[in-house]
Amino acid sequence: SAVLAGAALLCGFAPPQNGGNAVAAVNVSDKEPEQRQKKKAAKNAAVQQPEAEDGERTIIDDSDVKRRADQTSLQEKLIWKNEYIVALAWNVDPAQYGVKREIVGKTVCYGKKTVQYADDQAVTEAVRQAIEQENGKPNGILPQELVLLLADGPFAGTADELALQFYREHNLLYFTAVIDEAGDETWTSILEQSYENGEMEYFAMVNDKKDSKIEVMKRELARRAARDGKTEFFAILSSELTEEELGACALEAYEGENMEIFYMAATGLNSQQADLIAEQAYEADRTEYIFAVIPRMSEEQRSALRERAKKDGRDELGYLF
């Protein structure tokens, strides 16, 4: 896509082509790789980050997982049921566990950290409900053997109350267990709060929820992210905007000299807007902005700037047009 091409060009990965003549791309930012990594990490925060900045544990302790050599895949999930948060992993080897129980047709194993819950009625009910919930999903718990990695509770309150509580407490691990059960008002509230606080890991978990209120909020935050220069958030939210809205963001980013936002929004420029920016960027010697608008420019403007570059002795720009 044009956005990906622009990003590649930003990083110097994809020099523009003109009639087979490659033009060396200008490396205009050394921050893009880091930002892309942060965006990817945010979407998988509960799996990839071993510890949050405030010391909160953000991954499941899977030291009790025992498998055979032929068991190469492992799935883990945190689920909130019956007022308890339980962490289950499946595709394990029950022969390596001393304590096991049969729950709704599944063999549930217990390691050193959870053996005390093997006969706990409340935790067993939470595990039963969790298994039944996952069994009804396309990518649910398919193997017969599971291990209980964590059990904590009881947590009194609704999913909405607990989601807000765990968010305020910066408890990302438990937040992941309850957020899917929360309602649209909680989702929009956390979406806005996490944007304001720059908490991408929470923002990314709510951003993929499907709801009309969420969609309205995401479009509003996309425009705000462009104005605020929050490139990581805009990278996720820009797809929510129309081409006209993206074009407006690109114009504002050009005036504000925010090149990263500009590159992500430039696909929304119409030919008249692209021609104007190309003319201004040429005169101001802001070559890096010209790269992004070339696909949107009119042939007339490209031809005019090509001839102008030749007359001005700027051969390196002549290739662009």
Q: What is the pLDDT of residue 22?
A: 30
Render pLDDT for 177-234 as a digit per residue (tens, 0 to 9): 999 999 999 999 999 999 999 999 999 999 988 888 899 999 999 999 999 999 999 9
Our CA angle for 63, 65, 71, nearest 5°, is 140
Q: What is the pLDDT of residue 36?
A: 36
Beta bridge partners of 21: 18
- Looking at the chain, which runs of residues are DSSP E strands? 17-18, 21-22, 75-81, 84-90, 99-103, 106-110, 145-152
Q: What is the pLDDT of residue 12?
A: 31
Give whole-number Cα distances, 154 to 165, 177, 207, 274, in Å: 14, 14, 28, 58
- Burial class of residue 178 in the structure, from the number of CB atoms within 10 Å of its CB (0-12 exposed, 13-18 middle, 19+ buried): buried
pLDDT band at 29 (very low <50, low <70, confident <90, very high): very low
Cα 162 to Cα 284: distance, rounded to the nearest angstrom: 54
Render pLDDT for 80-117 as a digit per residue (tens, 0 to 9): 999 999 999 988 999 999 999 999 989 999 999 999 99
Name residue 2's amino acid: A
Cα 304 to Cα 290: distance, rounded to the nearest angstrom: 14
Q: What is the pLDDT of residue 138?
A: 66
pLDDT band at 318 (very low <50, low <70, confident <90, very high): low
Name the more confident of 157 and 52.
157
What is the pTM (predicted TM-score) of this model? 0.73
Alpha carbon distance, N-terminus to C-terminus of the chain: 20
Cα 164 to Cα 113: distance, rounded to the nearest angstrom: 28
Render pLDDT for 268-315 as a digit per residue (tens, 0 to 9): 999 999 999 999 998 898 988 988 898 888 888 888 888 888 888 887
Residue 45: pLDDT over 80: no
Name the more confident of 182 and 71.
182
